Amino acid sequence: MKVKLPKFTFPGGVHPADGKHLSADKAIQTSPVPKQVAILLSQHIGAVCKPLVAKGDTVTSGQMIGKADAFVSAAVHSPVNGKVLDICLQSHTVLGRCESIIIETAEGNAPKQPVNDKFNDKFDESKYSAEQILNAAAKAGLVGMGGAGFPTVVKLQPSPDNPKKAMLINACECEPYITCDYRLMLEWTYQLLAGIKLAKKASASPVVYIGIEDNKPKAIEVLKKAIADSNCGDDIKVVTIKTKYPQGGERQLINAVLGKVVPTGKIPPMISVLVMNVATAAALAEAVVFENPLTHRIVTVTGEGINQTGNFYAPVGTSIQALIDMCGGLKDEPVKVISGGPMMGFAIGDFSMPITKTTGSITVLTEKQIGTAKFSRQQTACIRCGRCLQACPEHLNPTKIAHAVKHELYDVAQNYYMSACIECGCCSYVCPANIELTGYIKTGKIITARQKKKIPS
């Protein structure tokens, strides 16, 4: 008798309505070239880029316009041919404002087409040395495209003192509504697989696990077939994981697939594990094989508050307003536009804000959806139910951290491991008192960081 193995998972987490049906069946479309792009000089964790151009300069598509001077940084490139209108401060989802290069697109720019059709099951990574792969990742300005934006070349660097024991490909896409990675897996399968092979070689990882939630059976089937057709052997494996949010958090993914725990304050490389998002792997293949910098990405535009939904291959630097217009504009009832998904995204009011290398989605919610997600109901007193403790995937006490921040006791909040919070929003989601616990914790982190840098509030 065939024994059914248990699904891989992690402790804690929640099961929000995913909303993926709105865009999961929408094939990737190449977006039109916008009239103007704004390239932020900070689209990654690490040092801000130094501009290489000045106002009035003419730039070409793929030209490096922002240089990474630090080890932990990533260059930025122009996605279009055009003229630099200005270098000025621009709205930024995390930093508030950031220096940006504004480029007016020249006439006659044709939309950049994806290169996924150039890859097949015959791809041979042995043609490229580890040094070539690392140099291509650095030159292309690759960063983690799943959220944090950690420079890819830094992740891939092999360490003689701490060699990689495994590489995990994050194909979970657990955030509600977002489907850009799902469509990439279905449509760019062989490009993705090429990127995985290249990353495996560059990092000297002996084995690769592709973690996919079990609510994506088509993606699981397609990837398993591609791996079999490409004769990858047992070095690259698809692992089916139980659907639960935030399964795509790298700490939760490592726990679910490998059974390992990343110690508080540590990062995966410290336990010899490399985690890479599927979009990053696909971008690595394009950078190595075609020497193309990271200037475009797939963005999901979705939600009940927009007239049309879809997945678009769009230039980095495209404004959120341009993407909304591309989808027929907003309906009458939308009340929140989010850069990202409803759990970890950032509500925005400035639609001129550009998308970045890490922007996976623009989500437009109505009052009904926001009410269901408990983000707009009246706050009441904490009833000490403990639901936030049960939901927290990092085993923290969100209520105590939030109370400490509320009363400006930031040292107390730190003693409750505020810095270990991954800001997934699970605590806020389950709170029956509708307390925005994650919001307090985010605020506490920002104020603590400012105090360390002696920046006035």
CB of 362 within 8 A of CB of 300? yes
Instruction: Calculate the alpha carbon distances from 140 to 57, 63, 162, 331, 424 in Å.
Output: 21, 10, 26, 38, 29
185: CB partners within 8 A, 6+ apart: 171, 192, 212, 216, 219, 222, 223, 278
Strands (E), 286-356: 296-302, 310-315, 334-339, 346-348
Closest CA to 388 of 415, 421, 344, 339: 421
The predicted structure's pLDDT at residue 160: 86
The predicted structure's pLDDT at residue 377: 65
The pTM is what? 0.93
Per-domain boundaries in the chain? 34-105+295-370, 134-290, 387-453
- The pLDDT averaged over each successive group of 10 residues in the chain (457 residues) is 56 92 97 95 88 96 93 93 93 81 94 96 95 97 90 91 93 96 98 97 96 96 95 91 94 93 89 95 98 97 95 97 95 85 90 94 87 63 93 95 95 95 94 93 89 61
> Is the backbone of residue 192 left (phi > 0), alpha (psi -120 to 50) or beta?
alpha
State whether CATH 3.10.20.600 applies to domain 34-105+295-370: yes
Three-class DSSP category at 192: helix
Class of the CATH-defined domain 134-290: alpha beta
Placement of tokens 């140099």 in the chain? 135
The predicted structure's pLDDT at residue 357: 95
Closest CA to 67 of 87, 52, 89, 83: 52
User: CA-to-CA distance for 235 and 207, rounded, in angstroms?
Assistant: 5
Closest CA to 278 of 373, 354, 183: 183
The predicted structure's pLDDT at residue 371: 64
The predicted structure's pLDDT at residue 47: 85
Is 134-290 the same fold as 34-105+295-370?
no
233: CB partners within 8 A, 6+ apart: none
Within 10 Å of residue 186's Cβ, how many Cβ atoms? Answer: 20
The predicted structure's pLDDT at residue 143: 95
CB of 185 within 8 A of CB of 223? yes
* First-to-final CA distance of the chain: 65
The predicted structure's pLDDT at residue 449: 83
The predicted structure's pLDDT at residue 454: 62
